[in-house]
Amino acid sequence: MSGTSTDGIDIALCQFSLTNDVKLLRFESAAYDNSWRQKLQNAQNLNGLDLLLFQNEFTRYTAHVVVKFLKDMSDQPDFIGAHGHTIFHQPKNGLTFQMFNGALMAAETGITTVCDFRSTDVAYGGQGAPLVPIGDQLLYAEYVACVNIGGIANVSFDMQGRRVAFDIGPANLILNLLAAREGKLYDENGRMASAGRMIPSLAEELNMLLYYELPPPKSLGREWIENTLIPLVEKYNFATSDLLHTLTNHIASQIGKSLSGLTNTGKVLVTGGGAHNGFLVERMRTYTDLEIVIPEKELIDAKEAIVFALLGKLRLEGKTNTLSCVTGSRKDHSGGAVYLP
């Protein structure tokens, strides 16, 4: 798994039972250096040929990381489930592109590779996202909701017998961009944000963004962050700490709002990089009466990679791995392209 926050490649080695119970055998996050981070963040500006060449470069690098991860194992995995790295996500235009060459990955590793999980859903008229909810439903059913706080925050829960899930709003992607103004990769534990002050007019404008009024299914991409959110934030010439304080509170409040239709009892599983942000978690707890559960570090970081392993397993079994009630596509289906070595 490589997310929009461009922090690294998450690799989870999973063992599944026939009933989809999962045991995490090993986890590693291979952090991107500054060169890789910059190349990934600039990839949307490449011309067609250079983007395809970069896709091969990225896939070879991912294969190298995977081979290194597996080097001490006597047995090879049955398959690799790879999300790739999202470069474009425009479901309204029938387009989503998770950069990854599955054929090259299978050839480089000698392991069957399942990838491109979102394209089938978009072809059926869906958002292509979020895909994690079926994993929430099958693997983490003891929680009333699951919230993932990555570059973009999303939520998943059962409502009246059907799964509901959607992208809540911006999260680490915008926070990391603001932290970069101070020469930092991210606002560690929300320290800068906690030292700042609220900018009421910015908070009001953020809450009035049209996206929040749209009903699910709905999803966000980097394009929305760049074209809508960043221009709004850049209108405010305030200290970085004040901007971070306001954005962090905004993210927390929108997460709370997304949970408002649920029972006021029960546990919410929170994972993704944002779960390490103590100030953000503290603010979340003020916006909901539900119990916010921050699991052990390994699950915080590994959960999305675990779910993409599950999606690959379901694809190879020909079973549904994408829910139309979540994405808005015309039917449930089994998405993903399979490449044999």
| DSSP notation for 13-39 | EEEE-TT--EEEEEEEEEE--HHHHHH
Tell me the chain's radius of gyration from C-alpha atoms.
19
* 190 in a structural domain: yes
Reply yes or no on whether the pLDDT at 19 is more than 90. Answer: no
- Whether residues 267 and 137 share a domain: the answer is yes
What is the DSSP code (8-state) at residue 96? E
- Whether residues 192 and 113 share a domain: the answer is no
**Residue 177: what are its φ and ψ, rounded to 5°?**
-65, -40
Q: What is the pLDDT of residues 265-309, one digit of tens each?
A: 999 999 999 999 999 999 999 999 999 999 999 999 999 999 999
User: What pLDDT score was predicted for residue 245?
Assistant: 98
- Whether the CB-CB separation of 240 and 178 falls below 8 Å is answered with yes
- Whether residues 103 and 22 share a domain: the answer is yes
User: What pLDDT score was predicted for residue 20?
Assistant: 87
> pTM for the whole thing?
0.92
User: What pLDDT score was predicted for residue 74?
Assistant: 86
What is the DSSP code (8-state) at residue 228? I
User: What pLDDT score was predicted for residue 214?
Assistant: 97
At residue 5 the predicted structure's pLDDT band, cuts being 50, 70 and 90, is confident
- Quote the CA–CA distance of 51 and 100 in Å, as a whole number: 11
- Quote the CA–CA distance of 80 and 115 in Å, as a whole number: 8
Segment 234-259 shows an average pLDDT of 98
- Whether residues 149 and 281 share a domain: the answer is yes
Tokens for 57, please give them. Answer: 């470069």
Domain limits at 334?
A: 8-126+302-339
Reply yes or no on whether the pLDDT at 263 is more than 90. Answer: no
- Whether residues 18 and 162 share a domain: the answer is no
- Whether residues 60 and 105 share a domain: the answer is yes
| Angle at 89 (CA atoms; ends 34, 281), nearest 5 degrees | 65
* 63 in a structural domain: yes
- Whether residues 114 and 163 share a domain: the answer is no
- Quote the CA–CA distance of 30 and 260 in Å, as a whole number: 36
For residue 62, the SS3 value is helix
Q: What is the pLDDT of residues 161-191, one digit of tens each?
A: 899 999 999 999 999 999 999 999 999 999 9
Segment 133-140 shows an average pLDDT of 96
At residue 18 the predicted structure's pLDDT band, cuts being 50, 70 and 90, is confident
- Whether residues 108 and 165 share a domain: the answer is no
- Whether the CB-CB separation of 166 and 216 falls below 8 Å is answered with yes
* 200 in a structural domain: yes
* 35 in a structural domain: yes
Question: Structural domain tally of the chain?
Answer: 2
- Whether residues 122 and 175 share a domain: the answer is no
- Quote the CA–CA distance of 138 and 105 in Å, as a whole number: 28
What single letter denotes the amino acid at residue 199?
A: I
Average pLDDT, the chain: 96
How many residues are given for the chain?
A: 341
Tokens for 169, please give them. Answer: 């709003």
Exposure string for 113-141, b = 16+ CB within 10 A, e = fewer: bbbbbbbbbbebebbbbbbbbbbbbbbbe
User: What pLDDT score was predicted for residue 82?
Assistant: 98
Which residue bears the tokens 């996206």?
211
